[in-house]
Amino acid sequence: ACSGGDDGGDGDLTEVKLQLQWLPQAQFAGYYAAVEQGFFEEEGLEVEIIPSGGDIVPQDALANGDVDYAIAWVPKVLGSIEQGANLTNIAQIFQRSGTLQVSWADSGIEEVSDFEGQRIGSWGFGNEWEIFAAMAAEGLDSTTVEIVTQDFNMNAFLQGDIDAAQAMTYNEYAQLLETPNPETGELYTPEDFNVIAYEDTEGAMLQDAIWADTDRLESDEEYEETTVAFLRAVIKGWAFARDNVEEAAQITLEAGSSWGPSHELWMANETNKLIWPAENGIGVMDPAAWDQTVAGALAAVNEQDQHLITEEPPASAYTTEYIEQAIDDLGDEVDTVGSDYQPIEVTLNEGGN
Amino acid sequence: MARLRAAVLGLLGLVGVAGLWEGYKAVGPEEGVLVGENRVLPRTTDLAMPHVWDMVQRLFEPVTSLGDAEPLWRVVLDASVVSLGIATVGWLVGTSVGLLLAVLMQRVRIAEWGLLPWIVLSQTVPLIAFAPVVRSWGSRIEIAGWEWPSWLSVAVIASYLAFFPVAVGALKGLQSPDRIHTELLRTYAASATDTLRKVRIPAAVPYLLPALRLGAASAVIGTVVAEVSTGYLDGVGRLLVSYAGQASGDPAKAWAPIFGAIGLGLVAAGFVALLGALMRNYRRGEAV
Amino acid sequence: MQDAVRIEGVSKTFVTRSGQVHALADVSLTVGEGEFVSLIGPSGCGKSTLMRLVADLEQPTAGTVEVFGKTARKARVDQDYGIAFQQAGLLPWRTVAANIALPLEIHGVGRRERRSRVAELAEMVGLSDFADHHPDQLSGGMQQRVAIARALAERPRLLLMDEPFGALDEMTRERMQSELARITAETGAAVVFVTHSIPEAVFLSDRVVVMSPRPGRITSVITTGIGRDTARDEALRESPAFFEKVTEVRAALHGAPVRSPALEGR
Amino acid sequence: MQDAVRIEGVSKTFVTRSGQVHALADVSLTVGEGEFVSLIGPSGCGKSTLMRLVADLEQPTAGTVEVFGKTARKARVDQDYGIAFQQAGLLPWRTVAANIALPLEIHGVGRRERRSRVAELAEMVGLSDFADHHPDQLSGGMQQRVAIARALAERPRLLLMDEPFGALDEMTRERMQSELARITAETGAAVVFVTHSIPEAVFLSDRVVVMSPRPGRITSVITTGIGRDTARDEALRESPAFFEKVTEVRAALHGAPVRSPALEGR
Amino acid sequence: MSPTTERAARVAAPVLVGVLGLAVWQLLVSVLGVSEYLLPSPSEIWAELGENSQAIREAAWITGGNALAGLVFGAVLGVVLAALAGWARWFDGMLAPVVASVAVVPIVALAPVLNSMYGADSEYGRRAIAALAAFVPVFVNTLRGLRQTTPLHRDLMSTYAASGWQTFRALTLPSAAPYVLTGIRVATSLAVISALVAEYFGGPRGGLGSFISTSAATSAYARAWAYVAAAILLGLGAYLVTVLLERLVQHRLPTGNPR
Ligand SMILES: Nc1ncnc2c1ncn2[C@@H]1O[C@H](COP(=O)(O)OP(=O)(O)OP(=O)(O)O)[C@@H](O)[C@H]1O
Ligand SMILES: Nc1ncnc2c1ncn2[C@@H]1O[C@H](COP(=O)(O)OP(=O)(O)OP(=O)(O)O)[C@@H](O)[C@H]1O
Ligand SMILES: Cc1ncc(C[n+]2csc(CCO)c2C)c(N)n1
Ligand SMILES: [Mg+2]
Ligand SMILES: [Mg+2]
């Protein structure tokens, strides 16, 4: 399923499969932009982006050899690595956690320590570890709250089934702001909510990263070359998405996102905020953030007394070698830091439409 | 005449359900009917129970505000057609496997005893537990340039639900001929294949048809679940997930793919009913 | 001339969950070519079992069964006999013609030949006008006639019939008896005919074999003396000679007149 | 003394999808108290319909039906008759005793009384040892005896029986006939008995009513002359007088001996 | 084959197939080296079952409770509506398309709306799903059962001048009983699987379904399969209970034509 033919210079493209962790949407704008703008092709790659649904675990698709690279959250992959998957983080695209815990403005839930005794929403699917890690840092154990699985929308929160709902800055939080308040008939505004950003807590964990197969990196030079080429194109893609937010949102809509246009634009903009500015260059791991993620993963215990991981991950769990190489290769061609990045203002319409 | 009556009554039934929905929504409390702590009847907010007319009206509005957006019903219809195609393949695969198993079990009694309990048990394994495995194995199949398409994984998972009623129903049907008929064929020194062709399979038809209908419904359900599970993009399953995600701001939209899925199932059941009409000679014993 | 059936010292024991059943014990019987032999006796005396042994639907526990000098198995494979049961046993999804054609189809008789043979048989049993009907459109008597036509399809020299008229009402039954007599006279086939009805046995047969149960055995054989050339009609039924033979078989069957309401087993 | 049944100028027409069926046309018949009357005739001549009119299971299109001087409806509500059909029609989930008790239960007879009456009835039909069995553990003859006991449960002065022995084999049937004769003699009930069997009709009845179809009407009534006090036994069956009456009914039924294999309709 | 050997073979054959299947599976993993990461071996799953037995029991209890609640509610609804449909043809005609629709609607489709309707913090949405799943077979079978009375038996009751209620009690209900039970037997498995799958789509955590997905999401496949095994056992247990119930009633109410 991997490289097809030698990547000779005569235009023979190397086939690459990239596994996403969800359906097409602006969260993955950089990859879709790289396809659409021909950045992958410039690098001699033909990239197939494979979306996933509820039960496809991207890092497993990678570990099984179904794909060549996968996008996944760090803590989930740490769990998989402990279970025996041999994977390496080759580019930490999102520098910050985008997870929020949202409650009503009058709920009195203002920080993690207020969770005690509350109904706390989470999607499950391994998205709950950040919550447990943040609570652990506050000395709360997971049995002091009631964890409620959220489904695909925020209705449970809006109807009062959940006291504090998990929300991504780029998605669910926008869903709230696209919903009319039945009392006023107007859309909800940020003032209606209390927002706890995990980025500001001890529990913050690293999210979307690009993962590769460790064994192949060690043994397959061609794969190494492909990896660097792939990363070069990805960097160009994300830089494009940063500099052309509206166009990037349009690209993901055309790639099959079913969100409304204002929602999609919001997502593209918020995703950019999680990436840029990238002080060490896009995708280069900040060791402190890595250590915090590992510490959180070690500390988190779920309500069934199960641990995400019980020991430090191996050294092979991440490397900056390839992303740094890619940044070097690009030189001045692309701004890989985005130090003067400025987000745009997005107005959400009802239903995201 | 009788058909008209059925159609009118059926329509009345649907109107009745819509009436119940709106009636309850009108008189029921926002928070639903609670008995003690227990919510016995649902909430009546627009978020939980959109108006029937909103659901219908939403169908005719564009999916999103994008300039070239198609009306919602069109998108749902297109996706449903794709899902129907996949479900059909799943149904065909499941039916074939079910029939083969049934013939095997009918011919070899030990096989029946050994396999039947496991066939029953197989259906208690939740689909979602192995959907990723199927997709993973499928994605590695590549024969002479032909690559396993992702819809085929969906069809295979759907066939896992569809084969069951067929296997059980066909076995019952193949075992259903009167002894007098099988013995008659024995006096003709007929081969097992002849007995199968001339007696067992025709006699199985009345058992097979309900099994095929159940199988068709299962194939549709399996297809939708597998689409969601594996993240297949072009079917109703995907719309269900996506539009459910937009249900906070656009509650009526989430119902469109539900209607699509139901329509899908009804079309599948209708197709089997048609099959039944074609085979009515083999159902002469059945009470009408 | 060769005997149609030769049964010698046959016993049959069934092993069931609740023990052994001695269905037949040391039964010997010969049926000549073209001879009409009825088996009569109380329920459970082994009439059907005996007939099924001849048809090779069961194997004897002891003794031998020969059909036209061959083993029963060989005779079955060679299609030396035709068979009919109490239930007509027509395939409900086949028309009358297709039902009659079934054995021919299975033995690979060509379409053309099949069609002409079926027409001939339908004519013989008086159902030409019903060839395209399905069994559920026929009365019980008509169905049974189709079954007889089917049994005759391959011109067997031996007909095995297990209470073929048992499910018919008496008037239809009498009519069917006359027809069967005519048909067997036409075809010259030997017949082994199981029945519960004494008048029916006497009316049709050259010999009536009376059996008794537990274990099943032959207790007497009565020659009716009604020749093949005697017309089987109303007049025969009303003749004193017929009545006499009926009384004789009845006596053989009951030993003495039965008074007490003996309970039948299950 | 009051007549059990008085049918006067009764017609019955069924309206079906494919048109009207004249099941009965201008039928008149009286059954005296304690009299045993058989109805005989070809299939479809309206025997069952006539009986069902008496039982108030159908309403006449014209004419009147009186049972013990009341309307048929009143007689049904008053439970003036007991009824039995060709199929025993036992409730499979009830034991023999509970099946016999069913009508008593429905009419609110107390448990004690019910129990003693059921025991008495089981005794009468010779099934005391089987009171706790379920129907599927009984032979066809035994089931039919339970049905008869059930029909007798409320000591009706009129018994309606529609081919009650039609599904039994001939030997069991003859035994059941003797038993029925004994029981009706004991209870003194009048009986309307539908049958296809000429010997059965002659054996049991005071009068045999012969019917013909399309439309159903009574063509002749034959008095058997076999008194209630004559023993219904083997000797009777073998007597020339019996044979004569059989022949007489046969003649009435067939008009002249039938030769051509006339096709029955569906 | 003698009756005793037959009985033995009936038990031995499925056991043999099961053992054979497990052996092949274990062999694939431990000898042929199919990656344990992808396909955990039976022994690993067994070990996880042991380690998490407490958690698994609690989870099975929750899912089982939801399935049971749904089953009871769905079955009652099915019987009541079938009784109405059996009583009035027009009602049956009106119900037909509704039941046909309920029979083909995928759970995934309904889960989000029902969660929203009943509240994601409660188990009611899931119970409603289990109830809907159980309703269909119970309704269909009960209705069929109520139509099993023969004209002969109805005539008989009529000759007894029995009231409608008496006829229902003495005739209609007992003839329908085996069919109702068959419906319940089919409904049991459906209720369990539906309650389980519904947990994938929101609501409180704690049931088998939510832990299957959580475990799988962190690649803890052996643990996930331990939960799946528990789900299978739960389904099997529920099925056996209803089979037993069916036998019991069939024993008390022999229908004359035992399947
Ligand atoms: N397959 C079988 N297994 C066990 N017992 C059998 C089997 N077939 C017949 N029997 C028993 O063998 C005995 C003879 O049965 P058979 O059917 O030959 O009697 P029959 O004379 O034809 O009776 P009927 O007049 O009722 O048809 C009976 O006791 C019957 O129960
Ligand atoms: N409910 C009904 N609807 C329409 N036609 C009927 C109905 N019941 C009886 N008939 C018709 O009325 C005629 C007389 O039927 P009936 O059952 O009384 O005949 P029978 O003498 O009892 O026949 P058999 O000997 O076959 O029992 C037949 O032509 C029959 O088809
Ligand atoms: C079945 C299922 N339900 C919800 C999510 C939610 N989820 C997981 S990560 C993420 C961030 C945005 O992509 C979101 C919304 C899921 N993955 N699978
Ligand atoms: Mg027999
Ligand atoms: Mg009749």
In a domain, E20, yes or no: no
In a domain, E243, yes or no: yes
**pLDDT computed for residue C1 by the predictor:** 60
For chains D and E, count residue pairs whose Cβ atoms are closer than 8 Å: 52
Asked whether residue D161 falls in the same domain as residue D127, the answer is: no
- How distant is the Cα of D9 from the closest Cα of chain C, in angstroms? 28
Report which residue type is found at B136: S
Q: What is the mean pLDDT of chain D?
A: 84
How many structural domains comprise chain D?
Answer: 2
Evaluate if residue D262 carries a pLDDT over 50: no
Helix%, strand%, coil% for chain D, nearest 5: 40, 25, 35
**pLDDT computed for residue A225 by the predictor:** 93
Which of B28, B88, B86 has the alpha carbon at shortest distance from B238? B86
Write out the two tokens for E174: 């007992």
**How do residues E233-249 score in pLDDT, each as one tens digit?**
998 888 888 888 888 87
What phi, psi does D48 have (nearest 5°)? -65, -40
Average pLDDT rounded to a whole number, residues D43-55: 89
Residues of chain C in contact with residue E2, where contact means CB-CB under 8 angstroms, are 15
Asked whether residue D150 falls in the same domain as residue D163, the answer is: no
Average pLDDT rounded to a whole number, residues A201-216: 94
C114 or D166, greater pLDDT:
C114
Evaluate if residue D253 carries a pLDDT over 50: yes
Residues of chain E in contact with residue A76, where contact means CB-CB under 8 angstroms, are 217-218
What DSSP element (H or E) covers C50? helix C47-54
Query: What homologous superfamily does CATH list for B51-282?
Result: MetI-like (1.10.3720.10)
Q: In this complex, is the C-beta atom of E97 within 8 Å of any C-beta atom belonging to chain B?
A: yes
Pocket of ligand 1 (CB under 6 A): C 14, 16, 21, 23, 43-49, 216
Which long-range contacts link C116-119 to residues 24+ away (Cβ below 8 Å)?
C117/C153, C118/C153
**pLDDT computed for residue E161 by the predictor:** 86
Which long-range contacts link B104-109 to residues 24+ away (Cβ below 8 Å)?
B105/B167, B105/B171, B106/B171, B106/B174, B106/B175, B106/B200, B107/B192
What DSSP element (H or E) covers C211? strand C207-212
| Sequence spans of domains, chain B | 1-49, 51-282
Q: Give which of B176, B184, B284 to mutate to test C binding, by max C Cβ within 10 Å.
A: B184
**pLDDT computed for residue D266 by the predictor:** 38
Q: What is the mean pLDDT of chain A?
A: 90
Yes or no: say if B44 and B24 are a contact pair by the CB < 8 Å rule: yes
Helix%, strand%, coil% for chain C, nearest 5: 40, 25, 35
Report which residue type is found at D229: D
Report which residue type is found at C15: V
**How do residues E124-137 score in pLDDT, each as one tens digit?**
889 999 999 999 99
Q: Of D133, D155, D177, which closes a domain? A: D155
**pLDDT-based confidence at B219, cuts 50/70/90?**
very high
Which of E49, E128, E188, E210 has the alpha carbon at shortest distance from B120? E188
- How distant is the Cα of E241 from the closest Cα of chain D, in angstroms? 22
**How do residues A225-257 score in pLDDT, each as one tens digit?**
999 999 999 999 999 999 999 999 999 999 988
Asked whether residue C70 falls in the same domain as residue C11, the answer is: yes
What is the C40 CA–ligand 4 centroid distance (Å)?
A: 10
- How distant is the Cα of D262 from the closest Cα of chain E, in angstroms? 31
**pLDDT-based confidence at A4, cuts 50/70/90?**
very low
**pLDDT-based confidence at A191, cuts 50/70/90?**
very high
**How do residues E155-195 score in pLDDT, each as one tens digit?**
888 888 888 888 888 888 888 888 888 889 889 988 998 89
What is the D38 CA–ligand 2 centroid distance (Å)?
A: 17
Residues of chain C in contact with residue D142, where contact means CB-CB under 8 angstroms, are 263-264
Asked whether residue C173 falls in the same domain as residue C68, the answer is: yes
CB contact under 8 A, C91 and B194: no
Which of A13, D64, D4, B42 has the alpha carbon at shortest distance from E125? B42
For chains A and B, count residue pairs whose Cβ atoms are closer than 8 Å: 126
**How do residues E52-82 score in pLDDT, each as one tens digit?**
888 899 999 999 999 999 999 999 999 999 9
Write out the two tokens for B99: 């029939």
CA E80 – CA E74 distance, rounded (Å): 10
CB contact under 8 A, B178 and C81: no
Residues of chain B in contact with residue A55, where contact means CB-CB under 8 angstroms, are 128, 131-132, 229-230
Does the CB atom of residue D53 touch ligand 2 within 6 A? no
**pLDDT-based confidence at B116, cuts 50/70/90?**
confident
Yes or no: say if A234 and A91 are a contact pair by the CB < 8 Å rule: yes
**pLDDT computed for residue B288 by the predictor:** 38
Q: Which ligand is nearest to the CA of C40?
A: 1
- Write the CA distances from D38 to A321, D157, D201, D223, D249, integer angstroms: 108, 16, 6, 10, 11
Asked whether residue C103 falls in the same domain as residue C124, the answer is: yes
Q: Which ligand is nearest to the CA of C13?
A: 1
Chain C adjacent subunits, 3+ CB pairs under 8 A: B, D, E
Which of B69, B58, B57 has the alpha carbon at shortest distance from B250? B58
Asked whether residue C124 falls in the same domain as residue C212, the answer is: no
Which of B217, B149, E210, B151 has the alpha carbon at shortest distance from A54? E210
Asked whether residue D123 falls in the same domain as residue D185, the answer is: no
CATH code, domain with D166: 3.40.50.300
In a domain, E76, yes or no: yes
Asked whether residue D163 falls in the same domain as residue D231, the answer is: yes
Asked whether residue C240 falls in the same domain as residue C255, the answer is: yes
- How distant is the Cα of B43 from the closest Cα of chain E, in angstroms? 5
What phi, psi does E258 have (nearest 5°)? -65, 110
Q: Which residue of D has its CA nearest to E153?
A: D89
Task: Say if residue C215 is preceded by a cis peptide, omega within 30 of 0.
Answer: yes
Yes or no: say if A294 and A64 are a contact pair by the CB < 8 Å rule: no
**pLDDT-based confidence at E36, cuts 50/70/90?**
low
Asked whether residue C100 falls in the same domain as residue C209, the answer is: no
Write out the two tokens for A109: 């839930």
ipTM (interface pTM): 0.83
Report which residue type is found at D265: G
Write out the two tokens for A121: 């929403």
Alpha-carbon dihedral angle through residues D101, D105, D107, D108, given to the nearest 10 degrees: 130
Yes or no: say if A181 and A192 are a contact pair by the CB < 8 Å rule: yes
Which of B77, B46, B50, B74 has the alpha carbon at shortest distance from B60? B74
CB contact under 8 A, B244 and A151: yes
Write out the two tokens for D148: 């008869």
Which of D31, D71, D16, D72 has the alpha carbon at shortest distance from D194? D31
Q: Are strands A14-19 and A69-72 parallel, antiparallel or unpaired?
A: parallel
Cα B272 from chain centroid?
Answer: 11
Q: Atom 12 (ligand 2): residue with closest C-alpha?
A: D23
CB contact under 8 A, B241 and A64: no
- How distant is the Cα of A154 from the closest Cα of chain B, in angstroms? 6
CA C244 – CA D240 distance, rounded (Å): 10
Q: In this complex, is the C-beta atom of E2 within 8 Å of any C-beta atom belonging to chain C?
A: yes
In sequence order, what are the beta bridge partners of D237?
Answer: none
- Across chain A, the runs of DSSP E, i.e. the strands, are 14-19, 45-50, 69-72, 87-91, 99-104, 119-122, 146-149, 164-168, 193-197, 209-213
Evaluate if residue C170 carries a pLDDT over 90: no
How many structural domains comprise chain E?
Answer: 1
Per cent of chain B over pLDDT 70 is 98
**pLDDT-based confidence at C85, cuts 50/70/90?**
confident
Average pLDDT rounded to a whole number, residues B167-178: 90
Report which residue type is found at C156: P
Q: What is the mean pLDDT of chain E?
A: 85
- How distant is the Cα of D82 from the closest Cα of chain C, in angstroms? 23
Q: Give which of C234, C247, C249 to mutate to test D binding, by max D Cβ within 10 Å.
A: C234
**pLDDT computed for residue B78 by the predictor:** 95
What is the C55 CA–ligand 4 centroid distance (Å)?
A: 14
Exposed, middle or buried, B17 (CB in 10 Å: 0-12/13-18/19+)?
A: middle
- Across B146-265, the runs of DSSP E, i.e. the strands, are 146-147
Residues of chain E in contact with residue B125, where contact means CB-CB under 8 angstroms, are 228, 231-232
**How do residues A104-161 score in pLDDT, each as one tens digit?**
999 999 999 999 999 999 887 778 889 999 998 888 888 888 888 888 789 889 988 8
Residues of chain E in contact with residue A142, where contact means CB-CB under 8 angstroms, are none
Three-state secondary-structure class, residue D266: coil
**pLDDT-based confidence at D177, cuts 50/70/90?**
confident
Does the CB atom of residue D21 touch ligand 2 within 6 A? yes
Which of B118, B202, E46 has the alpha carbon at shortest distance from C98? B202
What is the D266 CA–ligand 5 centroid distance (Å)?
A: 14
What phi, psi does E102 have (nearest 5°)? -60, -35
Q: Is A17 left (phi over 0), alpha (psi -120 to 50) or beta?
A: beta
Evaluate if residue D259 carries a pLDDT over 60: no
Report which residue type is found at D59: Q
**pLDDT computed for residue C256 by the predictor:** 41
Terminal-residue alpha carbon distance, chain E: 22
**How do residues B241-279 score in pLDDT, each as one tens digit?**
889 888 888 889 999 999 999 999 889 988 998 998 888
**How do residues C217-252 score in pLDDT, each as one tens digit?**
899 998 888 877 777 887 788 788 888 888 888 888
Yes or no: say if C215 and C25 are a contact pair by the CB < 8 Å rule: yes
Residues of chain E in contact with residue A79, where contact means CB-CB under 8 angstroms, are 218-220
Does the CB atom of residue D52 touch ligand 2 within 6 A? no
Q: Are strands C19-31 and A87-91 parallel, antiparallel or unpaired?
A: unpaired
Q: Which ligand is nearest to the CA of D169?
A: 1
Smallest Cβ distance to B230: which of A53, A159, A263?
Answer: A53
Report which residue type is found at A261: P
Per cent of chain D over pLDDT 70 is 95
CA B62 – CA B73 distance, rounded (Å): 9
Q: Of C140, C155, C170, which closes a domain? A: C155
Asked whether residue C46 falls in the same domain as residue C110, the answer is: no
Asked whether residue D245 falls in the same domain as residue D179, the answer is: yes
Lowest mean pLDDT among A185-194, B107-116, B127-136, D5-14: B127-136
The helix-helix angle for A221-243 and A261-275 (nearest 10°) equals: 120
Lowest mean pLDDT among C70-79, D234-243, E232-241, E244-253: E244-253
Alpha-carbon dihedral angle through residues A177, A182, A184, A185, given to the nearest 10 degrees: 70
Q: In this complex, is the C-beta atom of E44 within 8 Å of any C-beta atom belonging to chain A?
A: no
Lowest mean pLDDT among A89-98, B86-95, C127-136: C127-136
Write out the two tokens for E134: 């159980």
In a domain, E221, yes or no: yes
CB contact under 8 A, D91 and E174: yes
Structural domain span for residue C213: 1-80+156-266
Evaluate if residue A328 carries a pLDDT over 90: yes
**pLDDT computed for residue E34 by the predictor:** 65
**pLDDT-based confidence at B32, cuts 50/70/90?**
confident
Q: Give which of B34, B61, B64, B236 to mutate to test A binding, by max A Cβ within 10 Å.
A: B64
- Across B29-166, the runs of DSSP E, i.e. the strands, are 33-35, 38-41, 142-143, 146-147
Q: Within 13 A of B9's CA, how many CA atoms are on the CB side?
A: 17
**pLDDT-based confidence at A11, cuts 50/70/90?**
low
Q: Of C137, C155, C173, which closes a domain? A: C155
CATH code, domain with E174: 1.10.3720.10
Structural domain span for residue E192: 43-252
Evaluate if residue B222 carries a pLDDT over 80: yes
Yes or no: say if D33 and D18 are a contact pair by the CB < 8 Å rule: no
Exposed, middle or buried, C69 (CB in 10 Å: 0-12/13-18/19+)?
A: exposed
Which of E104, A256, A49, E112 has the alpha carbon at shortest distance from B79? A256
- Across C43-132, the runs of DSSP E, i.e. the strands, are 62-67, 70-71, 81-84
